[in-house]
Structure 1
Amino acid sequence: MSARELITEHLDLWSGAVTKKSSSGRGSKGKVELTGVKKLRELILELAVRGKLVEQGIPTESSPNLVALMEQEKSRLVASGRIKKPKAVCSTQLESYPFDIPKAWGWYSLGALGYTQTGSTPSKSQNELFGSDIPFLKPGDISDNGDIFYENEGLSEAGKATLGKWAEKGSILMVCIGTIGKCGLIEQQCTFNQQINSVTPYIPEVSRFLMLCLKSPYFQAAAWEKSSSTTISILNKGKWESIPVPLPPLEEQHRIVQKVDELMALCDRLEQQTSDQLEAHETLVDTLLGTLTQSENATELADNWARLAAHFDTLFTTEQSIDKLKQTILQLAVMGRLVEQDDEDEPASHLLKCIDKEIGQRVSEGTIRKPKALAMVEGSFPYDLPKGWRWEKLGRFTLIGTGATPSRGRPDYYSPPEYPWVTSGETSQAFICDTKERVSSLAVKETNISIYPAGTLIVAMYGQGKTRGQITELKVAAGTNQACAAIQPIIKDESHRRYIKLCFIKLYDEIREVAAGGAQPNLNTGKIANTLIPLPPLTEQNRIVQKVDELMALCDQLKERINQASETRCQLAEAVVEKGLSA
């Protein structure tokens, strides 16, 4: 089977292998990686450098002839003083061959094929060294796909002269510190910093094939293998230029580059087609899920849900679509449209009266302080609620506290480690059964730490990335640091507590938006207490959380099936790659 057949006969496999890459937080859109197309691009490059991408004709020349021309050009450059005399060209020993190559090809170290340099940076205190005479490139100016951005920063002619090194048009740059392996072919003369190495082929016509070699999985793996790492990965120039490179005759290089361009264009079209299909699917899912939340009454909702349920297997085929279904379920739950209302249910106003009575009793017993009065709930609301429900602030029916961080200079505050101590980063878990750190009884006695009982809900008030607004539930008694709010429902009812948690998961994005601050916006207990909650009758809360559990379990089953299918497709793609390389 030819390379072309190997690729084109498996287009459905390449386009079907899709994985979720990342998401920025609860309720956010996850990025999707087209794993199959990525594997296909890698396969094309690997076949190219192994001499398996184009037919092998009767060679009219060999790579040693080409290297001889390189030697002549190198001697001319050295004699003219343009470059220093590099190490002599040497073939890789037979036992060191990474893989077999065609007879007319040869193995040579990267440094034998071109002049190599490591960049440097002029003194930032000398403004006259910077300007727009020549681009000054850094790793961020080289994209993952090899595009070069020349406009971000430049040097003056004086800056270029100070460095005494630059790369000519047709040179290949590779990042060799940090994001090792990113590389690009420059189309104009450039300078670059110390995180980048360059190779300028002695024969310019070699540049494009050499670029394919450096981007290939073989060379990328070799570069990482030769790198050293402490806190950051580093590949020095000596080790980089010693990596063996397979070199075909020049005529075959041109045919390989042309075939790679053709097949990469096919990958572009396949990638665009797959992305368009995913986008169209996402739009369809959004529209159909929107019919649920926009239903005017229970009958219309039931009809729309039945229509959706009949096509679950074709609609919910990606992790993104299932995550959106989960968000819609939560939206219907807090709007009072997920379960039927029962006229026999005691309204939320009755629940609030019971809560007021419980608060009064605890205040008189001295077990709690009298809560601060909250401003009345008034103004416009996000949506209308069913009969028996009411909008109410969280602080009206819960107790809200926070914690503290004992002095790190007091070892006796942390030893013996007796009480679990929650940090905001740990709120990413659905439940907390244990913590990374614990505090001592002395810390609880002498600091502002409170030990909250199991069942307390913990919300992150600030923290890095997606942390702010996350909610978790204590399964053990624990204290918290000052970056967490502890929410204790007045009524000790499991469904009530779970409904509050459900509301916070649904309101994740909205809660984050009310945070105040500059570089790191913060919530506080006052903002948490004033969070507006759609409060149903207590018995309906029980029905809601049961239905949510039932539907979330269905979503998890769908997601598991999708993950298994995606994993299978990725494994098949890997198998096809292996087949192509071993052919």
Structure 2
Amino acid sequence: MTGQQLKNSILQMAVQGKLVPQDPNDEPASVLLERIRKEKEQLIKEGKIKKEKNPSYIFRGADNLPYEKVGKNEPVCIADEVPFEIPESWEWVRLGNIFQHNTGKALNASNRTGSLLPYITTSNLYWDRFELGNLREMYFSENEIEKCTATKGDLLVCEGGDIGRAAIWMFDEDIRIQNHIHKLRSYTEVCTEFFYYLFYLYKHAGWIGGKGIGIQGLSANALHALLFPLPPLSEQKRIVSKIKESEPLMEKYADVEKYLDKLNTEFPDQLRKSILQEAVQGKLVPQDPTDEPVSVLLERIRAEKQHLVKEGKIKKDKHESVIFRRDNSHYEKRGSEEVCIDDEIPFEIPENWCWARMGSYLDVRDGTHDTPKYVLEGIPLVTSKNLCNGKIDFSTAKFISREDHLAISLRSKVDAGDIMYAMIGSIGNPVLYNGNAEFSIKNMALFKKIANGLDMEYVYWFLYLSQDTMKKFASGGVQSFVSLGYLRNYWIPVPPIQEQHRIVTAIKQILPKISTL
């Protein structure tokens, strides 16, 4: 049961007379209703309210069913309109029988007569509270002030917007209302808070603005005709007191529900990241002493990289480094200088692994940063907005000419096995591309494998895991970004190539099961 369902259930019990016991010493609701009728008749005599053309009242028949008499018509059984059973000491009433009600003034910019006064609209009225920080003003004549002013104790209900939303005006200062708010003022004493809770239940049960016995709108006529249960006045107060006593527990229940929902929503992703963290720390699969040492793998990549530099296929890395261990510490050789980097290492890895800069063992380049001229038909230009859940969404991509595409592809052609990574805006969202489509990229990094180098699926999962950290260190004001230099210098733990393959296999076996949790 959700927090909302619990509150609905408690309110349902309340308005059915099941939350607090009935007291036979209470004045019956029929007496209260008769007092309301007499007060209403007196106000009509005094000319303060208009007489209804077809007044109605509801009573119990000899069969104990509710009947309604409208004007001079014969009484009609309305048992099919009644949403639930109520105690014998209660009565069913139309809301208009116990409350005076009217809406406020419609906006009229050309009408500038009267007094300029603040007013509230539905945007100021929320459940059980008002937001009064942005009040507007308009002109009200004397007659409009009398009709459109809410005073302390009035129940205000939204006619428009979130129809049925209600709150009691509990301020000492009066306020004017706009025409999309109903003002309800009882003819004689009732517990207005009880009727606030009725509106809350009817709204959240779908009986206002929903299906069932409800109504889609809340015009004056619809409001007037709403069927409400009327308990004895003393019981109304006892019910409200019990609800208020229960509300802190309902709120605590709702908070726990939100926490559990958040936990359930986030748990799969947290578990996924936890598994990936174990993987890149060498704790997901066992190490095998017969694996080719990672130093051999890295030396092979360095040799191939030098060969590609000589052929002009990639640029020489000015900051290329080699990481090695000495006396159980990590050192980085930068040119002829050796620097201890223990304070830069983010976590421990197995002894047969090695830390490396991504740019030293991967070809890390980027797409265009320019904005080519867009065309109606042509080659898709993929940006960070098109990367989502490990895939490219071509449906929202814009198009560029083939000429511009060829110019961009000279430095950033995407081949199968490459990893795309958004550098600007929504940083991260890595995509390991395995297709053969023709497209260009903009504002994103491109990670390319160097010969028989790193397993690109292993690199993909490492980038997936690292994207939250990279976002924290992103630069920029309006639009955050990570630089190509930052990505090239980012630390990656490198296992032996055979272990990389085993890690990828284990990830493929485990992660699909997480989605079923």
- TM-score strictly above 0.5: yes
Tell me what 2:348 maps to: 384
Per mean C-alpha deviation after superposition, the further-off stretch among 427-436 and 39-48 is: 427-436
Equivalent runs, 1:11-410 vs 2, <5 Å: 14=1, 35=2, 37-50=3-16, 53=19, 60-62=28-30, 64-65=33-34, 67-68=36-37, 71=40, 75=44, 79=48, 94=78, 97=81, 99-102=83-86, 104-109=90-95, 113-118=99-104, 139=123, 142=126, 146-148=127-129, 152=133, 164=145, 165-174=148-157, 182-188=165-171, 189=173, 191=175, 197-202=181-186, 203=188, 205-218=190-203, 221-225=206-210, 238=220, 241=223, 244-251=226-233, 252-268=235-251, 270=253, 318=264, 320-321=266-267, 323-363=269-309, 368-370=313-315, 372-374=317-319, 379=341, 380-381=343-344, 382-396=346-360, 397-402=362-367, 407-408=373-374, 410=375
How far apart in 1 are the matches of 2:455 and 2:177?
Answer: 59
Instruction: Give CA-to-partner distance per residue, 1:376-412, whole Å, 9 cap, x none.
Output: 566422233332433333233133322576544x323
Tell me what 1:431 maps to: 391
Instruction: Give CA-to-partner distance per residue, 1:222-271, whole Å, 9 cap, x none.
Output: 44349xxxxxxx96755773562413144343343344334445534655
Give the conservation status (yes or no) of the 8 Å contact 2:386–2:393: no
Give the conservation status (yes or no) of the 8 Å contact 2:355–2:491: yes
**Residues 269/190 of structure 1: CA separation in 2 closer, same or farther (3 Å cut):** same
Between the two proteins, the alignment pairs up a number of residues equal to 457
TM-score norm. by structure 1 comes to 0.62
- AA at the equivalent of 2:418: T
**Residues 513/195 of structure 1: CA separation in 2 closer, same or farther (3 Å cut):** farther
Tell me what 2:420 maps to: 458
1:546 to 505, 508, 513: 505
Instruction: Give CA-to-partner distance per residue, 1:497-525, whole Å, 9 cap, x none.
Output: 12112112222221111222224323344
**Residues 223/105 of structure 1: CA separation in 2 closer, same or farther (3 Å cut):** same
How far apart in 1 are the matches of 2:440 and 2:43?
Answer: 67
Instruction: Tell me the SS of whatever aligns to 1:454.
Output: coil
Instruction: Tell me the SS of whatever aligns to 2:101.
Output: strand
Instruction: Report which of the two has the higher share of helix.
Output: 1
- AA at the equivalent of 2:384: S
Give the conservation status (yes or no) of the 8 Å contact 1:169–1:186: yes
How far apart in 2 are the matches of 1:245 and 1:120?
Answer: 28
Instruction: Tell me the SS of whatever aligns to 2:29.
Output: coil
How far apart in 2 are the matches of 1:122 and 1:360?
Answer: 78
Give the conservation status (yes or no) of the 8 Å contact 2:427–2:481: yes
**Residues 526/267 of structure 1: CA separation in 2 closer, same or farther (3 Å cut):** same
TM-score norm. by structure 2 comes to 0.69
Gaps of 5+ in 2: 58-67, 69-75, 110-114, 322-331, 333-338
Give the conservation status (yes or no) of the 8 Å contact 1:355–1:490: yes
**Residues 505/120 of structure 1: CA separation in 2 closer, same or farther (3 Å cut):** farther
How far apart in 2 are the matches of 1:87 and 1:190?
Answer: 31
Gaps of 5+ in 1: 1-13, 15-34, 124-128, 227-233, 283-316, 414-418, 560-583
How far apart in 2 are the matches of 1:484 and 1:504?
Answer: 13
1:442 to 386, 402, 405: 402
Instruction: Tell me the SS of whatever aligns to 2:455.
Output: helix
Give the conservation status (yes or no) of the 8 Å contact 1:434–1:476: no
Instruction: Tell me the SS of whatever aligns to 1:169.
Output: coil
Tell me what 1:482 maps to: 442
**Residues 320/150 of structure 1: CA separation in 2 closer, same or farther (3 Å cut):** closer
**What is the Cα deviation at residue 134 of structure 1?**
8.4
**Residues 365/174 of structure 1: CA separation in 2 closer, same or farther (3 Å cut):** farther
Instruction: Give CA-to-partner distance per residue, 1:425-455, whole Å, 9 cap, x none.
Output: 4433233486444747636546646652333
Larger RCO (CA within 8 A; separation ≥ 6): 1
Instruction: Tell me the SS of whatever aligns to 1:507.
Output: helix
Rg comparison, structure with higher value: 2
Instruction: Tell me the SS of whatever aligns to 1:459.
Output: strand
Give the conservation status (yes or no) of the 8 Å contact 2:352–2:496: yes
Instruction: Tell me the SS of whatever aligns to 1:470.
Output: strand
Give the conservation status (yes or no) of the 8 Å contact 1:134–1:160: no
Give the conservation status (yes or no) of the 8 Å contact 2:291–2:499: yes
**What is the Cα deviation at residue 212 of structure 1?**
0.9
- AA at the equivalent of 2:37: A
Instruction: Tell me the SS of whatever aligns to 1:520.
Output: coil
Instruction: Tell me the SS of whatever aligns to 2:349.
Output: coil
Instruction: Tell me the SS of whatever aligns to 1:412.
Output: coil
How far apart in 1 are the matches of 2:223 and 2:208?
Answer: 10
**What is the Cα deviation at residue 187 of structure 1?**
2.0
- AA at the equivalent of 1:45: L
How far apart in 1 are the matches of 2:471 and 2:141?
Answer: 48
How far apart in 2 are the matches of 1:358 and 1:512?
Answer: 32
- AA at the equivalent of 1:148: R
Instruction: Tell me the SS of whatever aligns to 2:209.
Output: helix
Instruction: Tell me the SS of whatever aligns to 1:392.
Output: strand
**Residues 335/64 of structure 1: CA separation in 2 closer, same or farther (3 Å cut):** same
**Residues 365/556 of structure 1: CA separation in 2 closer, same or farther (3 Å cut):** same
**What is the Cα deviation at residue 215 of structure 1?**
0.8
Tell me what 1:21 maps to: none
How far apart in 1 are the matches of 2:203 and 2:390?
Answer: 42
Give the conservation status (yes or no) of the 8 Å contact 2:372–2:400: no
How far apart in 2 are the matches of 1:346 and 1:156?
Answer: 79
Identical-residue share of aligned pairs (%): 22
**Residues 439/261 of structure 1: CA separation in 2 closer, same or farther (3 Å cut):** same
